[in-house]
Amino acid sequence: NMKLGGLGPDYEAIKEKVKKLKQQKEYAKQIKEHNMKNVASVQRLPTKPQVILSVSRQKALEYAKKIPKPKTFTARQCEEAKEEKVLPQTLNGESLPQIVSLETLQNRHEKEKRVVATFRTLHIF
């Protein structure tokens, strides 16, 4: 009574595999339900108690709260400052351009010299 392999599908082997998969799924379902019951019954650990800050740190924080914050410089204040400046006028009543300070001109000259030097080192000019 010997059965040799055939060319078609083996339905008996497939039925055994399907049966085994169903058993695995059923077992997984039972384990999941068991774990859910255990998780619900286990009490949660209490949260960590708040760490009390040191006395010196508390004093420092209270002091920092009492200090007034500096006022910020807004754009509106900047515009008001520009409007307040009165430009010098000529005899005809025309306003003269504002004279830029010598220091700012020297700083600008130094920056431009550095830019030109970098261009020359890169042989762009």
- Residue 94's pLDDT band (boundaries 50, 70, 90)? low
| 3 vs 10: CA distance, rounded Å | 12
pLDDT of 60 > 80? The answer is yes
Is the model's pTM score more than 0.75? no
For 93-121, what is the mean pLDDT?
81
| 102 vs 107: CA distance, rounded Å | 9
- pLDDT of res. 20: 97
For 47-70, what is the mean pLDDT?
80
- pLDDT of res. 101: 79
